[in-house]
C-alpha cells in the first residue's frame, strides 16, 4: 500500500528565462496553470529539465517561491534538492518546506568515485533534518552517482521518513527495484513516461515526466488506474501515439531542453524560448521534426 497520498503524474517543470537571463515569471505561471488545467496530480520542480545545474541558490529559491505561490495549494508540490554539500541541502530543504513544498527530492552529489556508504550517510544527514516526507532521486541513466537497491534499503532502514523514490531507469531496472525493495518506497518513475503503462503495471505510484504531453499522460494514468480491459487498451493506444515524440525528446538532457522545451512552449502559447548557456543550438531539421510531432496535439487551454 502507498505510504503517502502523492500519486499520479507530477510534471517536472521547465525553467523559462527572459532575454536578459532572469526567470520569466509570466511563462512559469503559464506552465503551472497549463499543467493543473491538464489534470496534473501534482507538480515537481528543479530537476534535470529545470536546469538545476545552471541555477544558483537564489534562482532556485525564487523558482520555488513563485511556483508555490502560483499553485496556491491546488496540487501538491515536490521540490528537488541538489546542493553539493550536506549543509547546502539542509538549508535549501528547509527553505523549500517553508515555501510550501509538500515533499522534497534529494539528489546525490555528483562526485564520481565516492563509496556508496558515504552517499548513504550524506542522504541520512539531510533527511534527518526534514519535517515533511523525503524522496531520493536515483537515476543511473542521466546522473553520475546513484545507489544500489541495497543502498536504498539502508537509507530507508536508517531514516524511515525517506519513503518515496524517484526511480528512473529502463523497465528491467524498475522491475528489479520494485522486486528487491518490496514496497518500502512509493516509486515515481521518469524518463519522460516512456514506459508508463509498464511501470504502472509494476505498482509504481506515478511518473515525473516533462510537461510536453501532460494532458495525454494524465489521461493515460486515469485509464490505467481503472483496470478495465477496454480502458487499458485505450491507455495503450494513447501511449503509442505520443511515444515517438517522447523518444525524440529523450535523446539527451541537452536535446530535451532544445526541443522538448520548445514543443511545450508551442502548445502553451509561450512565444519565445531563451536558452541558458551552455546549450545546444536547435537545428532547422530537428525543429521541423519537433513541429511534426506536436502538430497532431491540441493547444493547451
Dump pLDDT digits (tens) for 6-24.
999 999 999 999 999 999 9
Between CA 168 and CA 190 the distance in angstroms is 5
Residues of the chain with pLDDT > 70: what percent? 100
Say if CB 236 and CB 200 are below 8 A apart.
Answer: no
The owner of cell 515537481 is 44
Residue 214: the pLDDT is 98
Between CA 252 and CA 11 the distance in angstroms is 18
pLDDT-based confidence at residue 92 (cuts at 50, 70, 90): very high
Residue 245: the pLDDT is 97
Q: Topology of 8-240 in CATH?
A: TIM Barrel (3.20.20)
Say if CB 96 and CB 81 are below 8 A apart.
Answer: yes
Residue 4: the pLDDT is 93
Give burial (CB, 10 Å; 0-12/13-18/19+) of 297: middle
pTM above 0.85, yes or no: yes
Between CA 53 and CA 55 the distance in angstroms is 6
Say if CB 13 and CB 83 are below 8 A apart.
Answer: no
Name beta bridge partners: 147: none
| DSSP E strand boundaries for the chain | 8-9, 43-45, 77-81, 103-106, 134-138, 162-167, 186-189, 206-207
Segment 205-217 mean pLDDT: 98
Residue 76: the pLDDT is 98
Q: In sequence order, what are the residues at sequence separation of 6 or more whose Cβ sits closer than 8 angstroms to the Cβ of residue 173?
A: 140
Residue 143: the pLDDT is 83
Q: How far is CA 174 from CA 40, 53, 194, 200, in A?
A: 23, 25, 13, 11
Say if CB 145 and CB 110 are below 8 A apart.
Answer: yes
pLDDT for 231 beyond 90: yes
Residue 159: the pLDDT is 97
pLDDT-based confidence at residue 275 (cuts at 50, 70, 90): very high
Between CA 61 and CA 95 the distance in angstroms is 7
More confident residue, 108 or 143: 108
Between CA 215 and CA 35 the distance in angstroms is 8
Segment 258-286 mean pLDDT: 97
| DSSP E strand boundaries for 210-266 | none
Amino acid at each position: 500500500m502507498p505510504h503517502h497520498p502523492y500519486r499520479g503524474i507530477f510534471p517536472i517543470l521547465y525553467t523559462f528565462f527572459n532575454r536578459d537571463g532572469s526567470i520569466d515569471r509570466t511563462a512559469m505561471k503559464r506552465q503551472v496553470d497549463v499543467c493543473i488545467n491538464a489534470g496534473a496530480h501534482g507538480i515537481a520542480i528543479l530537476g534535470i529539465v529545470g536546469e538545476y545545474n545552471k541555477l544558483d541558490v537564489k534562482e532556485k529559491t525564487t523558482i520555488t517561491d513563485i511556483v508555490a505561490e502560483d499553485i496556491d495549494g491546488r496540487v501538491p508540490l515536490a521540490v528537488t534538492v541538489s546542493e553539493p554539500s550536506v549543509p547546502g541541502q539542509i538549508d535549501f530543504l528547509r527553505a523549500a518546506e517553508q515555501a510550501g513544498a509538500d515533499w522534497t527530492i534529494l539528489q546525490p552529489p555528483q562526485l564520481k568515485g565516492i563509496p556508496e556508504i558515504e552517499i548513504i550517510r550524506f542522504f541520512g544527514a539531510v533527511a534527518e533534518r526534514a519535517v515533511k516526507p523525503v524522496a531520493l532521486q536515483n537515476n543511473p541513466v542521466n546522473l553520475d552517482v546513484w545507489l544500489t537497491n541495497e543502498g536504498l534499503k539502508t537509507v530507508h532502514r536508517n531514516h524511515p521518513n525517506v519513503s518515496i523514490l524517484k526511480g528512473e531507469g529502463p523497465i528491467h531496472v524498475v522491475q528489479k527495484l520494485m522486486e528487491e525493495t518490496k514496497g518500502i518506497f512509493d516509486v515515481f518513475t521518469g524518463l519522460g513516461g516512456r514506459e508508463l503503462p509498464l511501470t504502472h503495471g509494476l505498482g509504481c505510484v506515478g511518473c515525473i515526466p516533462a510537461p510536453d504531453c501532460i494532458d495525454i499522460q494524465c489521461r493515460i494514468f486515469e485509464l490505467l488506474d481503472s483496470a478495465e480491459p477496454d480502458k487499458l487498451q485505450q491507455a495503450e493506444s494513447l501511449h503509442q501515439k505520443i511515444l515517438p515524440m517522447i523518444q525524440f525528446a529523450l535523446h539527451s538532457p541537452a536535446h530535451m531542453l532544445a526541443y522538448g522545451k520548445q514543443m511545450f512552449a508551442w502548445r502553451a502559447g509561450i512565444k519565445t524560448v531563451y536558452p541558458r548557456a551552455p546549450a545546444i543550438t536547435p537545428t532547422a531539421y530537428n525543429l521541423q521534426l519537433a513541429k511534426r510531432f506536436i502538430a497532431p496535439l491540441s493547444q493547451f487551454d
